[in-house]
A and B are shown apart, each in its own frame.
Chain A
Amino acid sequence: MKISILLLVCALGAHAAPAKTLRWGGDSSGGAPFVFQDPKNPAKTVGFEADLAEALAAELGLKPEFVQNQWDSLVPGLKRGNYDVVINGLEITEDRKAEVEFSDPYYLTYEALTVAKKDFGVASLADLKGRRAGTLKGALAERLLAEAGGITVVGYDTQTMLYDDLANGRIDAVLMDHPAAVYYGIDERLKNLPGQFGRMAYGVAIRKGDAKLLAQVNAAIARLMKSGKLREIYERWGIWNPVMAAAFTDDKPGQHAEPTELEAYLAARGVKLGWRASFSKYASYVPFLAKGAVTTVQLSLLSMAFAILMGLALALTKLYGPKPAALLATVWVEFIRGSPLLIQLFFIFYGLPTIGIKLQPFTAAVLGLAINYSAYEAEVYRAGIQAIPHAQMEAALALGMTRWQALRHIIIPQALRVVLPPTTNDFIALLKDSSLVSVITMVELTRVYGMLAASTYDYLGIGVLTALMYVLIGLPFVRLSRWAEARLAVEKRPRLS
């Protein structure tokens, strides 16, 4: 079994040679207008940074390839080589510069304040004293709010939820990068204030030591700026601003391009649909969600298979192994069971590369889930085997079987029926826990939900749809387990007279 894991690791761990592509990392669940799933065609990743990546790649003579990763993990993912660059509203800060190189800024902006319409009295940060303001965790805005003093700062992970909570009255104001305000502050219940707070510059993040790529990217940005291509992209997305105009010394009056993308986005979001149209809208999400669901099923089945094998090995070691091995198995089970799966996944994916073990996301996800669940399976199987009376083992031994033969042919087949319900339970749990692997760049069902919901602003409808898909995936396995349990229950057959 260890060998098969090793084979799997080798098979999936082999690093794909970077053919002529520019692999760029971003988080498409962050929302518009940065990088997000096109509400009209959910399988497509769009955004002004997607356009920028395409333009940059074209300048470099490469094909752009988007790699999804959770925003918090974009820099670690770059360092371990999942992609060549990060283009996703990464503000150039001293902290980040210690970790990665930054290109020259490709976009300059500022923080903008959004309030609920009823709060007309708010005009500046000072007016927010004693109230609750939200922003993204670890962003410049968080520091600005803290420095203003007297404001309760609420940190969020995604910008869509920020504006949702503002509209729902959970917070009193949102301080966010101006592009986000342009896209999410436009709501009949919200109001964007004109003030500019702070200054920030987005840069393309590149691995330290990748000097050649850095120079190429900088040259490409300069060319795009000069040709007006960059301004055209920003104008189409409706986020060209005075700071950019000043910095790019491009103060030609008038617009190069109409804000077509912004209008298209707002149109897609604002439309009130009848039930027939709503149905076809949700139907159009199904293929994209189904793709995520397939990944979820593959992950879960493979992980569970390994978890069962490892769990059985651990249980047998605990029960029948030599003392030191049994003790080691016990310690291992307690350690794995006692620590969070999330930390184990981070450890495997971002920790192991520091000692030279670099696994592909899928391999790392399967390994992490399998190891975590094997600890639970081990305990289930230990209990299941112990539930079989010792007399069964004695009877088998008395017939001349070895201990292993007795286990394999007499004890384990009987224990199977005992452990079937809890094992099915664990599989259903694993199916849902597999959503955690999105932290290591896997795009599975829950991540697809996050991406879709962020771009369509529809957490409710797509949420129900996603939950339903999980239930539908789990049901056949529940039925299968019941059927197998009934078949194995020979003890319940009617007594002969």
Chain B
Amino acid sequence: MLVAKGLRKTFHGQQVLKGVDFTADPGELIVIVGRSGCGKSTLLRCLNGLESFDEGEIAFGDLVLKTGPDDRQTRALRANFGMVFQSFNLFPHLDLLGNLVAAPMIVKGMTRAQAEAIALPLLEKVGLAGHARHYPSQMSGGQQQRAAIARALAMAPKVMLYDEPTSALDPWLVDEVFDVMRKLDAEGMTQIVVTHETRFAREVAREIVFMEEGLIVEKGPPSVLFGSPKDPRTIKYMSKFAP
């Protein structure tokens, strides 16, 4: 179970997180929604230590990350998370297989053969089996993002974090990425997704978290948040996405 308590963060004199409590149970698929600048990406990045925070703590199993720089603890925590970025961030100098085997070899000290034994089935899983020797620049955005998911999975994370994974994609490429995430959900992967795609949120999410101005305003199942939200701020935001 992932538990974040009382997270606060100030960035250039502006409070981006004003005391956020957040919980994710194993196997859940949580979608965080909210306007740009509401702090949802910052929250996601805090969860795997890419962003530091000023107050609060993050606990995952026995691991507890408190404020202040602690590289050891941060990396130990990070080992449980896979992260997928809006702009894919594949390594352009490596082919797809190279992208997938890099971290297992460098971080876990696997041999190339061991790493490939993990990587090749993952490429197949995301539908890129024939592209192992292709470079990121040769692929479409949807293919790159699926490869990025496979790269994260190669480190065998327990939780997957997605930071607006389809925002940089052409509309007709969005579904191929979401299909992979649906597949992972079916396998029981815990997934936390920041996205503006309400259709995906409505159809797949177990829980919707609505954030505004650095706070979690309301959370609950999609039917409740989309159908009958309680907080006026949620109502105002959701009114834009009438079914």
B135 touches A493 (CB 8 A): yes
Q: Does B53 contact A (CB under 8 A)?
A: no
For the complex, give the distance between the alpha carbons of A117 and B188 in Å: 103
**Are B102 and A410 in contact, with the CB atoms below 8 A?**
yes
B173-213 vs A, Cβ < 8 Å mask (1 yes, 0 no): 00000000000000000000000000000000000000000
Task: Flag whether A413 is at the interface (Cβ < 8 A).
Answer: yes
Contact across chains for A491 and B89 when beta carbons are under 8 A apart: no
Closest to A389 in B: B89
Contact of B91 among A392, A400, A492 (CB under 8 A): A392
Q: Is the pair A395, B137 in contact by a Cβ cutoff of 8 Å?
A: no
Q: Are B50 and A397 in contact (CB under 8 A)?
A: yes
Whether the Cβ atoms of B152 and A399 lie closer than 8 Å is yes
B225 within 8 A of A: no
Residue in A closest to B108 when the chains form the complex, CB atoms: A400
B89 contacts across to A, CB distance below 8 A:
389, 391-392, 394-395
Given A398-B81, A490-B135, A491-B135, do A405 and B93 touch, yes or no (CB 8 Å)? no
Q: Which residues of B contact A405 (CB under 8 A)?
A: 106-107
A413–B99 alpha-carbon span in the complex (Å): 13
Contact A495 B138 (CB under 8 A): yes
Cα-based distance from A423 to B106 in the complex (angstroms): 28
Q: Is A3 an interface residue (CB 8 A)?
A: no
Identify B151's interface contact among A399, A414, A492, A494, CB under 8 A. Answer: A399
Contacts A410-B102, A488-B93 known; A399 to B135 CB distance under 8 Å? no
Give Cα A401–Cα B151 distance, bound, in whole angstroms: 13
**A496 & B106 in contact (Cβ 8 Å cutoff):** no
Give the complex CA separation of A192 and B95 in angstroms.
77
Which residues from A are CB-within-8-Å of B83? 395, 398-399
A274 to chain B, nearest CB (A): 59
Cβ contact within 8 Å between B107 and A490: no
Query: A395 touching B91 by the CB < 8 A rule?
Result: yes
Residues of B within 8 A of A402 (CB): 71, 75
Is B112's beta carbon under 8 Å from chain A?
no
A401 x B135 contact (CB < 8 A):
no
Most A Cβ at <10 Å: residue of B75, B87, B137: B137
| CB neighbours of B155 from chain A (8 A) | 399-400
What does the 1/0 interface line of B134-167 toward A look like (CB < 8 Å)?
Answer: 1101110000000000011001000000000000
Closest A-chain residue to B95, C-beta based? A490
A414 to B90, CA, bound (A): 12
A409 at the interface (CB under 8 A from B): yes
A1 to B16, CA, bound (A): 45
| Chain B, Cβ-Cβ closest to A413 | B93
Give the contacts of B72-128 with A (CB-CB under 8 A).
75, 78-79, 81-83, 85, 87, 89-93, 95, 102-103, 106-107
Taken residue by residue from 204 to 231, chain A's Cβ proximity to chain B (1 for < 8 Å, 0 otherwise) reads as 0000000000000000000000000000
List the B side residues contacting A397 at CB < 8 Å.
50, 78
Please tell me if B48 contacts chain A, counting CB pairs below 8 Å. Answer: yes
Contact A491 B92 (CB under 8 A): yes
Q: How far is the CA of A323 from the CA of B73 in the complex (A)?
A: 23
Contact of A400 among B107, B134, B135, B137 (CB under 8 A): B107
Count how many chain A residues have C-beta atoms less than 8 Å from C-beta atoms of the other chain: 26
Chain B interface, number of residues (Cβ within 8 angstroms): 30
A487 smallest CB distance to B (angstroms): 11
B104 to chain A, nearest CB (A): 9
A41 and B56 alpha carbons, distance in the complex (Å): 84
B107 touches A401 (CB 8 A): yes
Interface centre among A400, A409, A488, A493 (most CB of B within 10 A): A400
Q: Which residues of B contact A400 (CB under 8 A)?
A: 75, 78-79, 103, 107, 155
Contacting pair A401 B106 (CB below 8 A): yes
Q: How far is the CB of A158 from chain B (nearest CB, A)?
A: 52
Closest to A400 in B: B107
**Which A residues are CB-close (under 8 A) to B50?**
394, 397-398
**Contact residues in B for A394 (Cβ distance below 8 Å):** 50, 85, 89
C-alpha spacing A401/B139, complex, angstroms:
25
Contact of B102 among A391, A398, A399, A493 (CB under 8 A): A399
Report the nearest A residue to B90, measured CB to CB: A395
Within 8 A of B (CB), among A254-302: none
Q: Find out whether the CB atom of A490 lies under 8 angstroms from the CB atom of B92.
A: yes
A68 to chain B minimum Cβ distance, whole angstroms, is 48
Instruction: Using CB atoms, name the residue of chain B closest to A406.
Output: B106
Q: How far is the CB of B107 from chain A (nearest CB, A)?
A: 4
- Nearest B residue to A408 via CB reads B106
Contact A410 B48, beta carbon cutoff 8 Å: no
**Cβ B93 vs Cβ A414 within 8 A:** yes
Q: Please name all residues of chain B whose beta carbon is closer than 8 Å to the beta carbon of A391 when the two chains form the complex.
A: 85, 87, 89
Is B75 within 8 A of A494, CB to CB?
no
**Contacting B92 at CB < 8 Å: which of A409, A414, A495?**
A414
Most chain A C-beta atoms within 10 Å of own C-beta, residue among B103, B135, B138, B139: B103
* Interfacial chain B residues near A396, Cβ < 8 Å: 91, 103
Are A399 and B107 within 8 A (Cβ)?
Answer: yes
Contacts of B92 in A (CB 8 A): 414, 490-491
Measured CA separation A410–B93 after assembly (Å): 8
Cα of A402 to Cα of B106 in the assembled complex, Å = 10
- In the complex, what's the smallest C-beta–C-beta distance from B192 to chain A, in angstroms? 14
Is the Cβ of A496 less than 8 Å from the Cβ of B93?
no
Residue numbers in A under 8 Å from B90 (CB-CB): 395
B164 to chain A, nearest CB (A): 13
How far is A492 from B137 in the complex, measured between Cα atoms in Å?
8
Whole-angstrom distance between the Cβ of B95 and the nearest chain A Cβ: 8
In the complex, which residue of chain A has the Cβ closest to the Cβ of B78? Answer: A400
Which 9 pairs of residues, A with B, have the shortest CB-CB distance? A395-B89, A399-B103, A398-B83, A400-B107, A491-B137, A391-B89, A490-B135, A496-B138, A414-B93
Interchain residue pairs with CB less than 8 A apart (18): A394-B50, A394-B89, A395-B83, A396-B91, A398-B83, A398-B152, A399-B103, A399-B152, A400-B75, A401-B106, A405-B107, A409-B102, A409-B106, A490-B135, A490-B137, A492-B137, A493-B137, A496-B134
